[in-house]
A = this chain, B = another copy of it.
Amino acid sequence: MFNNAIIPELSNRWLTIQTEINKIGADGLLIGGNVNLFYVADRIFSGFCYLPNKGEPLFFVKRPIHLKGNNVIYIRKPEDIPSILSERNIALPKTLLLETDELTYNEVIRLQTALSAKSILNGTTILRAIRSIKSDYEISLLRNSGQLHANCYREIPNLYRTGMTDLDFSIEIERLFRQKGSLGHFRTFGQSMEIFMGSVLAGNNAETASPYDFAMGGAGMHSSLPVGCNGTKLTNGMAVMVDMGGTFTGYITDMTRIFSIGKLTELAYKAHQVSIDIHHEIANLAKPGIATADLYNLAFTKSEKYNLKEYFMGYNQQAGFVGHGVGIEINESPVLSPRSKDILTLGYVFALEPKFVIPGTGAVGIENTFVVNATGIENLTKLNEEIVEL
Residues of A within 8 A of B (CB): 33-34, 38, 42-47, 62-66, 98, 100-109, 122, 124, 167, 171-172, 174-175, 178-179, 181, 183-185, 190-192, 194-197, 208-213, 217, 221-226, 249-250, 316-317, 328
Residues on B with beta carbons closer than 8 Å to the beta carbon of A47: 211
Known: A175-B175, A210-B64. A192 touches B46 (CB 8 A): yes
Question: 17 interchain pairs (CB within 8 A)?
Answer: A33-B191, A44-B211, A45-B211, A46-B212, A62-B211, A63-B210, A63-B317, A64-B317, A100-B104, A100-B106, A106-B122, A174-B174, A183-B224, A183-B225, A185-B225, A222-B249, A224-B328
Smallest CB gap from A47: residue in B? B211
Q: How many copies does the complex hold?
A: 2
A224 to B328, CA, bound (A): 9
Smallest CB gap from A6: residue in B? B223
A43 to B225, CA, bound (A): 8
A184 touches B197 (CB 8 A): yes
B65 touches A316 (CB 8 A): yes
Smallest CB gap from A219: residue in B? B64
A66: contacting residue among B45, B104, B209, CB under 8 A? B209
Residues on B with beta carbons closer than 8 Å to the beta carbon of A167: 178
A219–chain B nearest beta-carbon distance, Å: 10
A67–chain B nearest beta-carbon distance, Å: 9
A99 to B45, CA, bound (A): 25
A336–chain B nearest beta-carbon distance, Å: 19
Smallest CB gap from A64: residue in B? B209
B171 touches A178 (CB 8 A): yes
Residues on B with beta carbons closer than 8 Å to the beta carbon of A43: 223-224, 226
A226: contacting residue among B44, B174, B195, B213, CB under 8 A? B44
A194 touches B34 (CB 8 A): yes
A221 to B250, CA, bound (A): 11
A44: contacting residue among B171, B174, B225, CB under 8 A? B225
B196 touches A224 (CB 8 A): no
Residues on B with beta carbons closer than 8 Å to the beta carbon of A171: 175, 178-179
Residues on B with beta carbons closer than 8 Å to the beta carbon of A101: 104-106
A196 to B175, CA, bound (A): 13
Smallest CB gap from A224: residue in B? B250
A167 to B177, CA, bound (A): 13
A376–chain B nearest beta-carbon distance, Å: 30
In this complex, which of A46, A191, A208 has the most chain B Cβ atoms within 10 angstroms of its Cβ?
A191
Known: A44-B225, A175-B171. A209 touches B65 (CB 8 A): yes
Residues on B with beta carbons closer than 8 Å to the beta carbon of A33: 191
Smallest CB gap from A317: residue in B? B65
A223: contacting residue among B44, B66, B217, B317, CB under 8 A? B44
